[in-house]
Amino acid sequence: MAKPQRTAKAKALTPKGPVGLDLTDQPVIISTSKEPIDVQVYVDRLSDIFAQAKSDMAKLEADGFGTDTAPPPYTAGTTTKRKAYELGTDINAEDEEDDEDLYIKHDPNSEELPHLPIYHPAYKIAERPVPEVLQVFYDFIQAHPYSDAEVQHLLNEIEQQLKIPYGNQLKIGLVGEAGAGKAPKAKASRTWSLSSLLCRKPKKSPYAAEVEFFSSAICQRMVETMLRKSYIRTQKERDGEEADDEERTEANTAVDCLCILFHNHEEFSCREAGENFLASAISSSDPRILEKLKRWTDEVLSSFIPNGQRLFLNSDTMENLTELFLPFTREVDDATFGDKPLEFSPWPFVRLVRVCFNHPITSQGITIGDLPGSNDYNTMRTLNTQRYLKDCDLTICVAKRRSGSVIIVITKTDDLNMKTKSIISLSPQEEEVLAMIQRNVKASEKQTEENRREIKKVKGDINTVNTLAADNSRIDRRIKKIQNEALELRVLARSTKITNNLARSYRTNTKNEVRVPIFCVSNTEYMLRVAGISPNNLPVLSLANTQLPLFRAHIYAARSKGKFAVLDHYCLHSVPTTFNIIEMSCSTSNLDRKEHLVGIVNKASEEMKEHIDLLFERFIAVDIEELIKGLHSSQADFATAAEGKCKKFSQKPYGPASHRAFVRNYGSHKTKSVGEANWNDEFLESVKPHIDRTFGKLIEEQTLVLKTDLSQSIREVIHRLDQDLRGNPAALVCNAYKTVFLDNFKQYQTNITSSVLHMAKELQGAFRQTIHYRTSSCICSPSHRKVHVKSASDSELHYFTQAMEPIYDSSNIPTPPKGFKTLHLSRCDIFKKTVMAAEGPYFKLVTVIHSKCKQALEQQQRKMSLEIETILRQIKKNFEGMSTKKGNTDSSEAKEFRNEFNSLLPSAREIIQGPVKECLELCRQYK
């Protein structure tokens, strides 16, 4: 086969790119080895696809799966067999059959699937035609003698669409206290117990894992925080102060994490060495120590992801894969990586581990995250859990027995202590069943005893003895089954009580009237049936009453809507969009293409703004409201202390003259009898510590979480923009994607990271805590006054000062009102009442703090959005250069190809708008 070559004519037609590029690296290729094709062949293939789809629909109608079809009732895990106690003491054939059924192993994959759109027969019909249509397009391009860079990228776009993208995952987070039974729940659901994530079937091997690390900037910030937490405790111990429980826990966690991360360095070879090394710090940001920690951090990251990408692990067995990814989720003894011993564990730097394998649940596009326990001592793990849960569509709360997108699973329901049976309240019907069970047990035991006596009488009659012995064996099994049914009744009664109480508590606590799914499950009983039941270990609970089949069915149902939505979107939106791109390539100008690319960037810009707005609004609604709530809780402390201060200011050494002088000078004055004093500072003494703590948390923790969330969110949007442009023919027509976007991708990321860091610093500057409370020490100009300083100090234009001014004015009356003996007493009374009023100066102080914090955040929100928009505007500006440049679609060969390719579109669109759309509608109604 001759090699396709570039013709002289094609070379002459090569234009310049939108940013002045010579397009000789995007050749026009006309194959000399390919014969001209007959377009009618491909039109006929499309007609055959249409006819087959219509024929399949006709068979569907004949089988009764029309729009009026109603699914039969769902009966997963249920049975119609009679209970043992209902059989009494009668040994009959039905009981024999029941005994035989006991020893059959239960296959979880045999459980009936819910009746949902994805299980309607029309679903398979809707899946088939669209990939077949795209295959026709793919074959047409492959067979055609003409090709160019744009055509090749159209081919790649079609190839990517050949498979329906069921990769969109439904994320489910398993949360609960450590040891509550989250991992067994995943196993009993026929999944694998993971520490981070379960996802779709891998492409390169039967089992694969993907390890995603935090960015270098976030990891370095982590070690900075760890050093600071350790230093706080060390410094308090040096000063003879006692660190509180939270500070000790945070410091211990910091030491543990650093020892785990840097165990291969002498400074952290053991815990004692790590504590000594950190104790040598002379400040919370000691450059000598911090420089080492940051250098080691980069070494850890580069040892696993030298190019800053994600780490991929592959294996032929789940057991081997588990050994590979476990060191990235927790400490593991004798861990290895790349066939070499791993002397440290990188897990604190790991954001997420995705484990990929094929299974009935994961094949539905369901992702299950097994997250660290909510009471895990390591705060780094709990913070990562909180971040992950923000993106979960559904949360399963796992707890030992004792919110709308929440499933509550109570484990170990079969663990019933019979000593506490009196506390389980039974209904009259249940009490009646228990009484019947007890009567049957006694009657069965009596029958067994009678048989034993009869055996003794007829020892010589072997047939009779064998018959009676067999009866006794069946009666013994019957008694065991009856006793288990009594225990099952109590278990179900308790589960009902727990379910009702939890549902009531959920409604009360969340104010959500939507019913929360609650499952009281027994892993032990379910797995007993999976393993196969032994005659000596009969199950207590029926398969249905283990509630695992029902729980699994709920998980399947949760994915159904999502999976159907994927197919619906693929058939009615994604593929039609590909048709539109083909049409644009075949029939539109460079100006239209430019507008298409600018639209993609505009979409990313809107998405970016939505993310920024959402995170800032959530910060205001949650973190700032928490701060204000905490400040309001100090109102009583302020009032109590203020009452004492008012009494102090009304007595000696403050006389009437001194009191009036201080009131006239707004609380800040100096007299011979009193000396220099500031009443506003004294009023604030009682609440300054609380304000300091509150703002300290806001600055040191919550603002940094906002920065981290912003960095991650914006980073994901930029990556999605990259993916949207990477395979877009309009972006690749003149190599514009590489020149405008890819070559500058790292710089875009750097600029965005810089903007986020600058925002965090400015926001911290607006909230910054300071130990100086006097104007001369900390205030430069009115425009740079900090919210915290102006909240906790007295100076002109400070919040408390402004709140107190009208109080001083109202107290400085010239004459006493009626009822007061002296002018001094009346002034003191007015001053005290107004200072201690419910909406007095402290209330006004908190109100202003609320307003100023929101104002600072909204200002940074606008600034952040503007800076990101500026970066994206430059990308759009570079793409807009396309509108003045010619493309490589002007040759006669190119026009012929595009006209022929464009002629296939009407038939393809008819298939989607006809039988495919009708099948999707049938599935939509199958509920």
Q: DSSP per residue over 123-157, as a string?
A: HHHHHTHHHHHHHHHHHHHHH-SEE-HHHHHHHHH
Confidence of residue 40 (pLDDT cuts 50, 70, 90): very high
Q: Is there a domain that residue 702 lies in?
A: yes
Rounded to two decimals, the pTM is 0.42
- Same domain flag for 36 and 139: yes
Over residues 748-761, the mean pLDDT reads 80
Angle at 502 between CA 389 and CA 560, to 5 degrees: 50
DSSP 626: H
Share of the chain above pLDDT 70, in %: 72
- Same domain flag for 648 and 705: yes
CA-nearest of 196, 221, 285, 216 to 705 is 221
Residue 181 has pLDDT above 70, yes or no: no
Query: For residues 310 and 652, which has the higher predicted lDDT (pLDDT)?
Result: 652
Residue 613 has pLDDT above 50, yes or no: yes
- Same domain flag for 785 and 923: no
The Cα 371–Cα 405 span in angstroms is 17
Confidence of residue 894 (pLDDT cuts 50, 70, 90): confident
The pLDDT tens digits for 158-167 are: 998 898 877 5
Question: What pLDDT is attached to residue 739?
Answer: 66
Q: Which of 65-69, 448-452, 889-893 has the lowest mean pLDDT?
A: 65-69
210-219, 428-437, 907-916: which is most confident = 907-916
Alpha-carbon distance values, 909 to 53, 361, 917 (Å)? 14, 33, 11
Residue 475 has pLDDT above 90, yes or no: no
- Same domain flag for 832 and 920: no
107-111, 807-811, 905-909: which is most confident = 905-909
Confidence of residue 41 (pLDDT cuts 50, 70, 90): very high
Question: What pLDDT is attached to residue 192?
Answer: 28
Q: CA quadruple 147, 150, 152, 155: dihedral positive or negative?
A: negative
Q: CA quadruple 79, 84, 85, 90: dihedral positive or negative?
A: positive
The Cα 859–Cα 668 span in angstroms is 34
Confidence of residue 730 (pLDDT cuts 50, 70, 90): low
- Same domain flag for 668 and 816: yes
Alpha-carbon distance values, 213 to 164, 258, 303, 372, 589 (Å)? 29, 16, 12, 17, 43
DSSP 89: T
Q: Is there a domain that residue 535 lies in?
A: no
Q: What are 537's two structure tokens?
A: 């270990």
Residue 248 has pLDDT above 70, yes or no: yes
Q: Which of 34-43, 265-274, 479-488, 705-714 has the lowest mean pLDDT?
A: 479-488
Q: Which own/partner contact pairs does 272-276 have at CB distance under 8 Å and 24+ positions apart?
A: 275/230
Question: What pLDDT is attached to residue 422?
Answer: 45
Mapping DSSP onto H, E and C, the string for 366-398 reads EEEEECCCCCCCCHHHHHHHHHHHCCCCEEEEE
Over residues 108-127, the mean pLDDT reads 82
Residue 835 has pLDDT above 70, yes or no: yes
Over residues 568-597, the mean pLDDT reads 78
Q: Is there a domain that residue 926 lies in?
A: yes
Residue 202 has pLDDT above 70, yes or no: no
Query: Mean pLDDT of all residues in the chain?
Result: 75
Burial of 526 (0-12, 13-18, 19+ CB in 10 A): buried
Residue 477, number of CB atoms within 10 A of its CB: 17
Q: Would you say how long the chain is, in residues?
A: 927
Over residues 173-186, the mean pLDDT reads 53
Pairing of strands 146-147, 29-30: antiparallel
Alpha-carbon distance values, 453 to 90, 456, 459, 461, 756 (Å)? 19, 5, 10, 14, 89
Which residue range(s) make up the domain with 28?
1-77+116-148+888-927
- Same domain flag for 744 and 870: yes
- Same domain flag for 787 and 898: no
Residue 611 has pLDDT above 80, yes or no: yes
The Cα 716–Cα 871 span in angstroms is 16
Side chain identity at residue 728, one-letter code: N
Alpha-carbon distance values, 862 to 134, 311, 500, 616 (Å)? 45, 36, 47, 10
- Same domain flag for 719 and 644: yes
Question: Within 13 Å of residue 694, how many CA atoms lie on the same side as its CB?
Answer: 26
Alpha-carbon distance values, 393 to 59, 511, 861, 900 (Å)? 38, 19, 27, 45
- Same domain flag for 831 and 912: no
Over residues 527-533, the mean pLDDT reads 76
Q: Burial code of 565-601, b = ≥16 C-beta within 10 A, e = fewer?
A: ebbbebbbebbbebbebbebbbebebeebbbbbbebb
Q: Is there a domain that residue 519 lies in?
A: no
Q: Is there a domain that residue 462 lies in?
A: no
Query: For residues 143 and 520, which has the higher predicted lDDT (pLDDT)?
Result: 143
User: Angle 287-304/216-238 helices, nearest 10 degrees?
Assistant: 150
Confidence of residue 82 (pLDDT cuts 50, 70, 90): low
Asked if 419 and 188 touch (Cβ cutoff 8 Å), the reply is no
Q: Is there a domain that residue 24 lies in?
A: yes
Collapsing DSSP to helix, strand or coil, 404 comes out as coil
Q: What are 382's two structure tokens?
A: 């709990």
Confidence of residue 135 (pLDDT cuts 50, 70, 90): very high
Q: What are 530's two structure tokens?
A: 């999976």
Over residues 127-147, the mean pLDDT reads 93
Question: What pLDDT is attached to residue 913?
Answer: 93
**884, 902, 919 — which closes off a domain?**
884
- Same domain flag for 831 and 916: no
Q: Structurally, how many domains does the chain consist of?
A: 2
End-to-end CA distance of the chain: 56
Question: What pLDDT is attached to residue 169?
Answer: 55
- Same domain flag for 680 and 801: yes
Pairing of strands 170-175, 366-370: parallel
Side chain identity at residue 12, one-letter code: A
Residue 877 has pLDDT above 70, yes or no: yes
Residue 401 has pLDDT above 70, yes or no: no
The Cα 706–Cα 883 span in angstroms is 40
The pLDDT tens digits for 533-546 are: 766 667 777 777 77
Question: What pLDDT is attached to residue 262?
Answer: 92
Confidence of residue 781 (pLDDT cuts 50, 70, 90): very low
Question: What pLDDT is attached to residue 186?
Answer: 43
Q: Is there a domain that residue 868 lies in?
A: yes
Residue 212 φ/ψ, nearest 5 degrees: -110, 120
Over residues 236-242, the mean pLDDT reads 84
- Same domain flag for 667 and 806: yes
Residue spans of alpha helices (H) in 768-914: 775-778, 787-792, 799-811, 823-835, 841-879, 892-902, 905-911
Q: Is there a domain that residue 33 lies in?
A: yes
Query: For residues 93 and 209, which has the higher predicted lDDT (pLDDT)?
Result: 209
Q: Which of 277-291, 619-633, 762-776 has the lowest mean pLDDT?
A: 762-776
Query: For residues 190 and 53, which has the higher predicted lDDT (pLDDT)?
Result: 53
Asked if 268 and 256 touch (Cβ cutoff 8 Å), the reply is no
Over residues 293-309, the mean pLDDT reads 84
